Amino acid sequence: MWQKRSLMSSKPAARYDENAIQTLDALEHIRLRTGMYIGRIGDGSHQQDGIYVMLKEVIDNAIDEFIMGHGKRVEITREGPSLTVRDFGRGIPLGKLVECVSQINTGGKFNDEVFQFSVGLNGVGTKAVNALSEEFEVWSWREGRSKRALFRRGRLIEEQEGRDGREPDGTRVRFTPDLEIFRRYGWQDEYVEQRLNYYAYLNSGLSLSYNGRTFRSKNGLADLLVAELGDEPALYEVVHCRHERVEFALTHTQTYGETYFSFVNGQYTNDGGTHQSAFREGVLKAINEFSKRNFAGEDVRDGLVGAVAVRVQDPVFESQTKNKLGSTEVRPWVVQTVKHELTVWLHKHKEAAEALIEKVRTNERIRKELASIKKEARERAKKVAIRIPKLIDCKQHYNEPKGARREETMIFLTEGDSAGGAMVQARDVQTQAIFCLKGKPLNCHGLERDAVYRNEELYNIMQALGLEDGLDGLRYARVVIATDADVDGMHIRNLLLTYFLRYFEELVTKGHVCILETPLFRVRNKQQTIYCYSEAERDAALAQLRGAEVTRFKGLGEIGPQEFNAFIGADARLVAVSVKNLSEVSKTLDFFMGKNTPERRQFIVENLISEL
């Protein structure tokens, strides 16, 4: 560290004068500060990556047309890297077509009489898509006339206007994300389909199609929960209430924790916000009023799976990507509506209400039984160390709302002190924390919640992440599993995933858990070094570099601190752990972590043969 500071201090300071001041036009600003407009750039391997945000921004405009009563279908197609979205709404006014897709703060969403409940209120969305696309083409058809405009990287190339009585009114947008921005990316159909499913659940009567598959819903959020739960048994029938400005659905399962799907004006708010908090509060008040008890919130919500969608004029989000609602004025009417509607439902459905109250009573009993075990675990932890053992913390945290880099915070769960020591020296001390595992964690599959408190390693991981009271206390935006690329490393990875999915399912379903890919080979000569993540990459590197030597990394402990800079920095390969739906969790854990050893062995043998 002293050498680094010494080198930095010897570098001449940058001159700060008139020549240092820059003025960027909107297009340049979007391309230079991409994260402000679409969040994480990514490569398409995570459902929150930028290319899916771009697609969402285009589809949102089509949904807004449907909400305002124009057009009942949306067609989405993909050809290679290009996506096309065609709606059958009113079509963008031809005289303003170019401005609407290229000039910031231009659009119809500022007029509440034209768009009452729109997500895109800042006049930025489609313009950002245009600016970040290698090619962007838009057509509009209105009353027998049409206009087309073609852009490359946000710059207008050509436009055409004329008569076209063959096409029905509406808008069509085709875009290709720019490799200059995204470097490498690939569309995952399952992420696109998940978004389209959400649009269908939130807009009964709307039909969306994607490459031959159609998405529609009759029962809204009730359909969403039924689809998510699949074969996972609900303890009572799904509660479903539709109101003028809020719709919600809920039920309980035997799983731990609480899971929510929340939406604002059709936008999926992955990080929740004020509407989700108000929904939780309304549910608590309704259950307590109906039961004439004063249950604790954690007892009411443990095992709860819920969905809430609100319509709000001029919603305020905490970022341009609209993942979390910040509008405080929604709280009173959402709380009151949920409380009233749920209370009425409980009185009308006596059998389901009894099952719900019994679940809450069971949660209360288990919580009280765990109280002494929790106390023992805390006392034991205090005796070991004042701080959490094996945790090298960072300075910023995800649960600090005003943290300048909170979205960048991550913790690496790594095996062994040698790998952890190298990562500590290479990390960004502001945003990256390291937790060194002692060995293989306990297999939690089928165990009750007390296992977290009885097992020292599991308890320390929970405390390090801040998960004891749920996802609200999460201290890092991403939890990165960093294990060796061998059988033992894979086993540790599976044990950690089992732990998270068993007790903190929402940590995974909300996209906070990632796998760190580390290189298997280092190929280098005197001029250049290439790190390779597969044998194919190794062979390509050997063909590229003459007289190169190859090093096969047996584990993370063999990678030095200087080299780790390339693997845990801005170019880190992080593979997001995703869950297709909640019903898949228990099936997957039963198969891979249960006691069905013969079936698992046969599966491995069959797949090994197919690979060979």
Looking up tokens 């935006």 gives: 477
Lowest mean pLDDT among 38-42, 235-239, 321-325: 321-325
- How many domains in the chain? 3
Q: 33 and 102 share a domain?
A: yes
Q: 450 and 589 share a domain?
A: yes
Q: 203 and 331 share a domain?
A: no
Q: 449 and 598 share a domain?
A: yes
Three-class SS state of 112: coil
CB 467 within 8 A of CB 565: no
Q: 141 and 229 share a domain?
A: no
Partnered with residue 482 across adjacent β-strands are: 414
Q: 242 and 178 share a domain?
A: no
Residues 443-469, mean pLDDT to the nearest whole number: 91
DSSP states of 395-437: S--TT-TT-TTGGG-EEEEEESHHHHHHHHHHS-TTTEEEEEE
Q: 211 and 227 share a domain?
A: no
Q: What is the pLDDT of residues 152-164, one digit of tens each?
A: 999 999 999 988 8
CB atoms within 10 A of CB 45: 16
pLDDT at 21: 56
Q: 65 and 196 share a domain?
A: yes
Q: 183 and 274 share a domain?
A: no
Supply the range of the domain harboring residue 569.
385-518+553-611
* Residue 532: inside a domain: no
Q: 411 and 302 share a domain?
A: no
Read off the pTM: 0.76
User: Final residue of a domain: which of 312, 340, 367?
Assistant: 367
Report whether pLDDT(126) > 60: yes
- Sequence-distant (≥ 6) Cβ neighbours of residue 399 within 8 angstroms: 466, 472, 473, 474, 475
Q: 227 and 327 share a domain?
A: yes
Q: For residue 250, what is the domain's CATH number?
A: 3.30.230.10
Q: What is the pLDDT of residues 41-84, one digit of tens each?
A: 888 888 888 999 899 999 989 988 998 889 999 999 999 999 99
Q: 261 and 131 share a domain?
A: no
CB 123 within 8 A of CB 134: no
* Residue 546: inside a domain: no
Q: For residue 414, what is the domain's CATH number?
A: 3.40.50.670
